[in-house]
Chains A and B, each alone.
Chain A
Amino acid sequence: MVAGQKKVVASAPVVAVGTAGSVKLEVKDLAIAYGHQTILSGVTLSVREHEIFGIIGPANAGKTSFIKALNRMDMFTSSMRVDGKILFNGRDIHSLRNVYALRSRIGVVFPLPVGLPLSVYDNVALAPRLAGIKSKEELNVIVERCLTRAALWDEVKDRLDSLGSLLSGGQQQRLTIARALSQDPELLMLDEFSIAVDPVTTMRIEDVLKELKQEVTIILVTNLVQQARRLADRTAFFLEGRCVEVGVTEDLFTGEVQDTRTRDYVEGRFG
């Protein structure tokens, strides 16, 4: 593993490839099925460089599976089938020869926090180590920076040796976020991250996300429509395995919608 091969994480935050406004991720006619059960179909949308792209919708709308498909996690689930095209930086992610390199460029945070049964330090240092970074100083810098950003540093700086899997739920979620950041991803996907976190911490992380936007592209799946409103530049509304609508976030909230179901959901009539 050559350190220069994958992006060197330690070299301070850097602006990801491409310029603002260009297309980072393009999804064309995506369909996802588990066995014979289709849970998402006909999704076509694009995510632009350096935007926060919100995805809202009630449970079972297919949001989490969507995230999994973007990260090629279908590879590890034999029953999961993904049809359609997903282009990352213009490359079809199903045609890559080294899918691990793709995943290392995409950070994911899932709703249920997973602190790995390693020390807090090793949790955050894992991805950089996988990317070939061995220098203790570099790792120290990354660990501190990522934990700080995830609003966890102050709470764990004195016990970096304790097991990450034994932290409280909220702390584990922030550890998960720190781990995703430690990959120094080009694309960061958060799936209902605030479920396991208290409101104050949620606000702190939201502030961090706003800052991060300058460096990475963010896909934010959320069950809190107000969170999407606070953060997302554009938002997609998923419902019952369909992408109902994609638009500028503010439009969805001011009633400028193409589909009345979007307005009903945003206004809390169902969900």
Chain B
Amino acid sequence: MFAVTELNQRDKKVQGLCRILFMIMTGLLILPVVLILATLIYKGGSIISADFLFSEPTDGMTAGGIFPALYGTIWLVAVALLISVPLGVAAAVYLSEYAGDNWFTRVINLAIINLAGVPSIVHALFGVGAFVLFFGLGTSILAASLTLAIMTLPVVIVATRESLQAVPHAFREACWNMGATRWQTIRRVVLPNAVSGILTGVILEVSRTTGETAPIMFTGAAFFLPFLPESVFDQTMALSLHLYVVATQVPGVPDELPYGVALVLIAIVLIMNSLSIAFRMWLRGRKKW
């Protein structure tokens, strides 16, 4: 009896130690990132101003703002979304509402997993080979956005499929019983209840697309351009590439400039991500059935 208690106490101690050990490991995973973020804010915060965001780079990119890069990123992301959202939603609707549980569906799923796993630089090579050269789009926003769209397609598909599958099957059967076709059921009952979940995925995709650099390097983004893009067939600057350029390619850049660019980039990405997460939590809390 006594021995058992002793053993229990030892177990409790081990238990407590493990808890602390794992907590430390979790902390160590997070701490560097917090420090890094703090450094970015500390070193780059001073340069951030309306002027920085809305003016052009000057003096061979060693001074001035980041407006053309910001503007170009918006173009790239918008066009990529226009391509990938309809395609991704269609794919998810197929997988969730039409596809049977068979080898073909497994092949599609495998393709999606691999699409997400192919290195970004390989996507860039594909963009060059397919869009820039083969389809003759040249280095343009369209070519770069197509490359980005294909690369981030899995994000939309996965998010959409999840939110479609969260709609209980009984709702579909109830509709079918009334003589609704599959599409009528999807349009009137399934999609309206999944649309906020899809939006969560789209916001996540915006964040992903904004940060991507390698896929646009050779397909449509330029180091420096003296003009803003006017159509999807123009080249453009982009925020992510701009960070690479000012950090590695331009001599004599003042210290705070790349920090400022990094800060803006990471702020956009993290704000978008937080939005998506907050939105998802709000959805989870809202009871609809």
Direct contact of A and B (CB under 8 A): yes
Any B CB within 8 A of the CB of A244: no
Smallest CB separation, B168 vs chain A (Å): 8
Alpha-carbon gap, A16 to B178, bound state (A): 18
B contacts with A: majority SS: helix
Cβ 8 A contact of A127, one of B170, B178, B189, B193:
B178
Give which listed residue, A101, A163, A176, A180, contacts B288 with CB less than 8 A. A163
Of B167, B172, B180, B287, which is within 8 A of A100 by CB? B180
Asked if A216 is an interface residue, CB under 8 A from chain B, the answer is no
Q: When A and B form their complex, which 10 residue pairs have the shortest distance between CB atoms, in order from nearest? A: A104-B179, A165-B289, A103-B179, A114-B174, A108-B177, A127-B178, A114-B170, A117-B288, A100-B179, A117-B289
Size of B's binding interface in residues, CB under 8 A: 23
Supposing A73-B173, A112-B170, A114-B171 touch, asked if A165 and B179 sit within 8 A by C-beta, the answer is: no
Q: Is B188 an interface residue (CB 8 A)?
A: yes
Are the C-beta atoms of B289 and A104 separated by less than 8 Å?
no
Tell me whether B184 is interfacial, beta carbon within 8 Å. yes
A248 is an interface residue with CB less than 8 A from chain B: no
B179 A73 Cβ-Cβ under 8 A: no
For A126, what are the chain B residues with a Cβ–Cβ distance below 8 Å? 175, 178, 180, 188
B136 in contact (CB, < 8 A): no
Known contacts A76-B173, A163-B288, A165-B288: A118-B179 contact under CB 8 Å: no
Interface residue A235 (Cβ < 8 Å from any Cβ of B)? no
Residue of A with least CB distance to B289: A165
Instruction: Report A105-127 residues with CB < 8 Å from chain B CB.
Output: 105, 107-108, 110, 112, 114-118, 126-127
Mark B residues whose CB is within 8 Å of A.
Answer: 100-101, 167, 170-181, 184, 188-189, 192-193, 287-289
Give the chain A neighbours of B174 by CB distance below 8 A: 114, 116, 176, 179
Considering the chains assembled together, what is the distance between the CA atoms of A38 and B135 in angstroms? Answer: 55
Contact between A117 and B177, CB atoms less than 8 A apart: no
Bound form: Cα–Cα A203–B126 in Å? 69
Cβ–Cβ contact B189 & A117, under 8 A? yes
Total number of A-B contacts with CB less than 8 angstroms? 71
A118 to B190 CA separation, bound complex (whole angstroms): 11
B186 to chain A, nearest CB (A): 13
**Within A64-123, which residues are at the interface with B (CB < 8 Å)?**
71, 73, 76, 78, 100-105, 107-108, 110, 112, 114-118
Binding site for B on A (CB under 8 A): 71, 73, 76, 78, 100-105, 107-108, 110, 112, 114-118, 126-127, 130-131, 163, 165-166, 176, 179-180, 183
- Complex CA–CA separation, A107 to B179 (angstroms): 9
Can you list 12 A-B contacts with CB-CB less than 8 angstroms, sorted by A residue number? A71-B177, A103-B176, A103-B178, A104-B178, A105-B179, A114-B174, A117-B289, A118-B192, A126-B178, A166-B287, A166-B288, A183-B178
- Chain A residues with Cβ below 8 Å from B172 are 76
Assembled-state Cα–Cα distance A110/B170 (Å): 10
Residues of B within 8 A of A104 (CB): 178-179
Do the beta carbons of B179 and A116 come within 8 Å of each other?
no
Highest count of chain B CB atoms <10 Å: which of A73, A102, A126, A180: A126
Residues of B within 8 A of A183 (CB): 178-179
Q: Could you say which residues of chain A place their CB within 8 Å of the CB of B175?
A: 116, 126
Chain A residues within 8 Å of B101, by CB: 78
Q: Which residues of A contact B192 (CB under 8 A)?
A: 117-118
Q: Which of A73, A107, A117 contacts B193 (CB 8 A)?
A: A117
Collect the chain A residues with CB atoms within 8 Å of residue B184's CB.
130
* Set of chain A residues within 8 Å of B100, measured between Cβ atoms: 78
Q: Which residues of B contact A130 (CB under 8 A)?
A: 178-180, 184, 188
Hey, which chain B residues are within 8 Å of A78, CB to CB?
100-101
| Inter-chain contacts of B188 with A (CB < 8 A) | 118, 126, 130
User: Given the complex of chains A and B, what is the CA–CA distance between A183 and B179 in angstroms?
Assistant: 9
| Residues A116 and B177 in contact, CB atoms below 8 Å apart | no
Q: A117-B288, A166-B289 are in contact. Are A73 and B176 (CB under 8 A)?
A: yes
Q: Which residue of B has the minimal Cβ distance to A123?
A: B174
> Known: A118-B189, A163-B288, A165-B288. Contact between A102 and B179, CB under 8 A?
yes
CA distance A102 to B181 in the complex (A): 12
Determine whether the beta carbon of A179 is less than 8 Å from that of B179. no
Kindly report which residue of chain B lies nearest to residue A71, judged by CB atoms.
B177
| Residues of the B chain whose Cβ atoms lie less than 8 Å from the Cβ of A108 | 177
Q: How many angstroms between the C-alpha atoms of A96 and B100 in the bound complex?
A: 23
